[in-house]
Chains A and B, each alone.
Chain A
């Protein structure tokens, strides 16, 4: 019996090694293919990634909750020692805020009256669609994104702004059934149209994977100073205007750095804002069909006019 098993294993060992090598080659090729396909067609593999994330979200939620509780407890223990000092600070801050509250009330009344005079649309903030928990971080130096535990089932759509109590966090770039991915302000792919507050100078806040993204596309002779507030301008219609983004932290020859308001150490929840003034590009085709009817087949057109008609959108696409 023993001999039989040994001879069997002698037979199967090379076969196993061969299979192992074959599996290695097959999966290596599959990985390479995934990388290439992902580069060529991001949307296709985005769905695969969202599917995996959807499947893992319950596990992540179960793990994140106790971890957050432990973290909160630890920070509370740390704060116990500084309680007296913090109390004094909060009293002083409360005094200042009460004064500000008076000013804000007066300004709100005045603003409302003036808007009514001008017949201007009220600048109410957009409604909150969903509040979601941050369940995963990218955990790598290459991308700055977070995964949240709300998806299409909860009404999340691509392009929604993600904020927390401090200000803008990022925006939704990928939506699964129960999960969504938020691109943070600091990611090198993030571009947010912003405005520097006192001067109302427009610029684009461009992430560069550092802690402090920089302002680009500045106007000629920009009037900016360190410490000034930066808010979203609402240009392009993707993000609502007036959301707090950060403060200018440094200005030098190469970069106007903005320190985001968000406290990255305590980002547990984000609120996703409903905002759909501009039609997302994905639904543009459906809207066009609705308005202009089904597209005519190109064969129906003849000769020169067809060539012209084909040429026009290409030129328009080149200069958006």
Chain B
């Protein structure tokens, strides 16, 4: 009785791992690491993590998780609430729909897919910010952000692949 209950708790906690890593990525994104304020362009770790889980475990990283991750990011970064949620929801939806094509492909193919999706996601975020504040933001920092995010993705994959091994491959996602 106790062991089955513990097993259920264990499975439940493991199922929360994708959301927990996404929230950790949010914290990493807003940490005042090297610079603060001007010129503090950092890779968007949240996007990499959301992409990874949407591709490999969309059953555990649902629309609610994507929304919560985005909301936490917006609140901590002082961005309009709903901005990153919207972008992450779309990323999650696109990847969950295309995962049959991508899931068994070699890493370079997935990385290329990430390049396109990150470009679209960051461009959408930029466009929404321009609309929300009614001013045109300089696109240069965005290019740096994109390049850093692309460079960060292999590192994120390496780490998350290890984390992925902790989660039992049950259900419809395997």
Q: A45 at interface (Cβ–Cβ under 8 A)? A: yes
Q: A211 at interface (Cβ–Cβ under 8 A)? A: yes
A53 touches B137 (CB 8 A): no
A146 touches B37 (CB 8 A): yes
For window 117-152 of B, CB contacts with A under 8 Å fall at 128-129, 132-133, 135, 137-138, 141-142, 145
A63 touches B38 (CB 8 A): no
* Nearest CB of B to A256, in Å: 17
CA distance A32 to B80 in the complex (A): 11
Q: A97 at interface (Cβ–Cβ under 8 A)? A: no
Instruction: Please encode chain B, from 69 to 94, with 1 for each CB lying within 8 Å of some chain A CB and 0 for all others.
Output: 01110111111111101100110110
For window 10-33 of A, CB contacts with B under 8 Å fall at 13, 16, 20, 23-24, 26-28, 30-33
CA distance A135 to B78 in the complex (A): 13
Residues of A close to B96: CB separation below 8 A? 20
| Interface of A, helix, strand, loop or mixed by DSSP | helix
- Chain B contact-residue range equals 35 or more
A60 touches B82 (CB 8 A): no
Q: B17 at interface (Cβ–Cβ under 8 A)? A: no
> Closest residue to B87 on the A side, CB-wise?
A31
For window 141-166 of B, CB contacts with A under 8 Å fall at 141-142, 145
A139 touches B29 (CB 8 A): yes
A140 touches B35 (CB 8 A): no
B78 touches A265 (CB 8 A): no
Known: A56-B27, A134-B36, A147-B76. A141 touches B41 (CB 8 A): yes
A138 touches B85 (CB 8 A): no
CA distance A147 to B36 in the complex (A): 11
Residues of B close to A188: CB separation below 8 A? 133, 135
A23 touches B39 (CB 8 A): no
* Nearest CB of B to A127, in Å: 25
- Chain A contact-residue range equals 35 or more
B residues apposed to A, CB below 8 Å: 27, 29-42, 58, 62-64, 66-67, 70-72, 74-83, 85-86, 89-90, 92-93, 96, 128-129, 132-133, 135, 137-138, 141-142, 145, 172
A residues apposed to B, CB below 8 Å: 9, 13, 16, 20, 23-24, 26-28, 30-35, 38-39, 45, 48-53, 56, 59-60, 63-64, 67, 71, 134-147, 174, 181, 184, 186-188, 209-211, 264-265, 267-268
Chain A to chain B contacts (Cβ below 8 Å), 27 pairs: A9-B172, A23-B62, A23-B63, A24-B89, A27-B64, A31-B85, A38-B81, A49-B81, A51-B75, A52-B72, A56-B75, A56-B76, A59-B27, A60-B76, A136-B32, A136-B77, A137-B30, A137-B33, A139-B31, A139-B77, A141-B138, A142-B133, A146-B36, A187-B37, A265-B35, A267-B36, A267-B37
